[in-house]
Amino acid sequence: MNVTKIALPQYSCSENRFENQDTAEAMVAEAARLGADLILLQELFDSLYFCSEMNQDHFSLAETAEGSTVSRFRKLAASLNVVLLLPFFEKKAPGLYFNSLAVIERDGTLAGLYRKMHIPDDPGFFEKYYFTPGDLGFRVFHTSAGKIGTLICWDQWFPEAARLTAMKGAELLVYPTAIGTIPEEGEVDKIRFRDAWRTIQRSHAIANGCYVASTNRIGNEGHNTFWGGSFVCGPFGEILAEAGEGQEIISAELNWSLIENQRQTWPFFRDRRVDAFGKLTERYG
Amino acid sequence: MNVTKIALPQYSCSENRFENQDTAEAMVAEAARLGADLILLQELFDSLYFCSEMNQDHFSLAETAEGSTVSRFRKLAASLNVVLLLPFFEKKAPGLYFNSLAVIERDGTLAGLYRKMHIPDDPGFFEKYYFTPGDLGFRVFHTSAGKIGTLICWDQWFPEAARLTAMKGAELLVYPTAIGTIPEEGEVDKIRFRDAWRTIQRSHAIANGCYVASTNRIGNEGHNTFWGGSFVCGPFGEILAEAGEGQEIISAELNWSLIENQRQTWPFFRDRRVDAFGKLTERYG
């Protein structure tokens, strides 16, 4: 298959996770009806962004990859014949939790997991309390809907993560996301932050000659207001589809046959000074 | 000093290198008169972009760092009391040439050299014929006008170069540049390429919480048309000053006291997964 149609459902969540799952399921079904082969849901797809506070109760939202939530969406993917990227709160063992993404093939098999490697911790985003940094490394999945490099939210600020994922063969980098502003931040901040967020992700497409897709949530959740703006861009960083701040499904066609030409004409992989990159494994200096 | 005013003179070059030096000198003097502390000239500042063809004659343009060209501009910097970043075609020995940048302090001393680490080679940009890849590594210069990380043109496409330079303490990354289109590329290509060029450089400011300044040339030189668009951006990637496609000097104030706050609120240096970055020294896989 040389072209994949990707869809990104963008929606808000409530306290009721089953209601959120129903929303997600309905939007995935609608995306499939519109011809999408590949569907990317938002980070922690079926709950409020609970990391806005430190509350032990929220650990009860976590499930294993064999739990009922992933199972429900594996069945959905199979019934719709789509590859589904499902970000979820993963419980590995009591006291060990990850911010994860399940890659589900169109026959409902679990192709594998990615566990968010970079974990933020800021006022309103207390993720280091909940999530252990990912222990599976950077990953690419050769699916029936393309070679998909899986990354999650905060990973988007780290060019190293994009590069290592692209070096494993990814032709699409995905970033399910939960990003927005807190009350101390005004409209000017939001415009500036959102443009920086969009710019850094577009840059990963440019640097690596690949597609990028990013799904963000919307809505007000207590102190956090999520800005939506889910988008798909091509290997020049050019925007192919972009959402506003409301509930919607955006989609774009990913033409895999363009990737090799792109990397021949902009041959960054040819020229990386790998002999001089050793200190990238250091903190500073 | 907590604020530096940087200026970027943007001009076209002719066949006559002394005329080009006169143009550069006049614009540097004008920038100083306007209050600039720090002035960044364009790549290969005093010649046509001779790499548009392979011609052995052009090696005669190269000079050592002790040659008359750098000496002339060291005297100029001292006379104007400015820090001057002078990109030039460096001859190290017969048969050994670099695409270099001289960092000149405001008293006219040569603070040091950077030699372009990543060398392009494309139709119209035959740089691998002329230049050996830089052998001095990534560099930062703690000057009287700020902590300046020196990079040149093609380096701009490599996030690794920006990161390693920032990790050495740079609060400003500079990219003297010669980029444009060839006749096979139309207006749509130009818009797309130029936006990608701008985006990737803005992303380095964002990822590293620093300023970025990029000076490009203008004008038609045989098959190459250079698109100007020199710019300075802040650590959100926000544009502080930007040139069009004509001869002009742009300037911006760099407030160094903002950098620490930026990196505290967007703490990317805190979270880099250096334990998982080892493969960045590999080509692929």
Instruction: List the structure tokens of B105.
Output: 């302090």
Query: A282 lies in a domain?
Result: no
**Amino acid, res. B131:** F
Q: Out of B117, B158, B273, whose CB is closest to A268?
A: B158
| Domain that includes residue B82, residue range | 3-272
Q: Is the Cβ–Cβ distance between B144 and B105 less than 8 Å?
A: yes
Helix residue ranges per DSSP H, chain A: 17-33, 68-80, 127-130, 159-167, 187-208, 258-265, 268-271
Q: CATH no. for residue A227?
A: 3.60.110.10
**A184-230 pLDDT tens trace:** 888 999 999 999 999 999 999 999 999 999 999 999 999 899 999 99
What's the Cα-to-Cα distance from A99 to each of A110, A113, A201, B245, rounded to whole Å? Answer: 17, 10, 20, 47
Q: Out of B159, B202, B284, whose CB is closest to A199?
A: B202
Q: Look at residue B150 and tell me whether its pLDDT is greater than 70.
A: yes
Using 50, 70 and 90 to split pLDDT, how confident is the model at A177?
A: very high
Query: A264 lies in a domain?
Result: yes
Contact B160 A271 (CB under 8 A): no
| Residue of A271, A275, A283 for testing the chain B interface, max B β-carbons within 10 Å | A271
Residue-level pLDDT at B1: 57
Residue-level pLDDT at A124: 87
Query: B285 lies in a domain?
Result: no
Q: Look at residue A282 and tell me whether its pLDDT is greater than 60.
A: yes
Q: Is the Cβ–Cβ distance between A147 and A257 less than 8 Å?
A: no
- The whole-angstrom distance between A173's CA and the closest CA on chain B is 16
Verify whether residue B43 is a known catalytic residue: yes
Query: B260 lies in a domain?
Result: yes
- Which chain A residues have a beta carbon less than 8 Å from that of B138? 276
- Which chain A residues have a beta carbon less than 8 Å from that of B169? 285
Mean local confidence (pLDDT), A251-265: 97
Query: A108 lies in a domain?
Result: yes
Share of chain B above pLDDT 70, in %: 100
User: CA angle B20-B24-B26, nearest 5°?
Assistant: 115
- The whole-angstrom distance between B226's CA and the closest CA on chain A is 17
Mean local confidence (pLDDT), B173-192: 94
In 10 A of CB B112, how many CB atoms? Answer: 17
Q: Is the Cβ–Cβ distance between B229 and B244 less than 8 Å?
A: yes
ipTM of the complex: 0.97
**A8-28 pLDDT tens trace:** 999 999 999 999 999 999 999
Query: A279 lies in a domain?
Result: no
Look at chain A and report how many structural domains it folds into. 1
pTM over 0.95: yes
Query: A118 lies in a domain?
Result: yes
Query: B96 lies in a domain?
Result: yes
**A107-149 pLDDT tens trace:** 999 999 999 999 999 988 999 999 999 999 999 999 999 999 9
Q: Out of A168, A207, A276, whose CB is closest to B117?
A: A276
In 10 A of CB A109, how many CB atoms? Answer: 12
Distance between CA atoms of B135 and B137, rounded to whole angstroms? 6
Contact B276 A120 (CB under 8 A): no
Contact B283 A272 (CB under 8 A): yes
CA dihedral sign of residues A81, A85, A89, A93: positive
Give A130-141 as a DSSP string: H-PPPSS-SEEE
Using 50, 70 and 90 to split pLDDT, how confident is the model at B280?
A: very high
- The whole-angstrom distance between A167's CA and the closest CA on chain B is 5
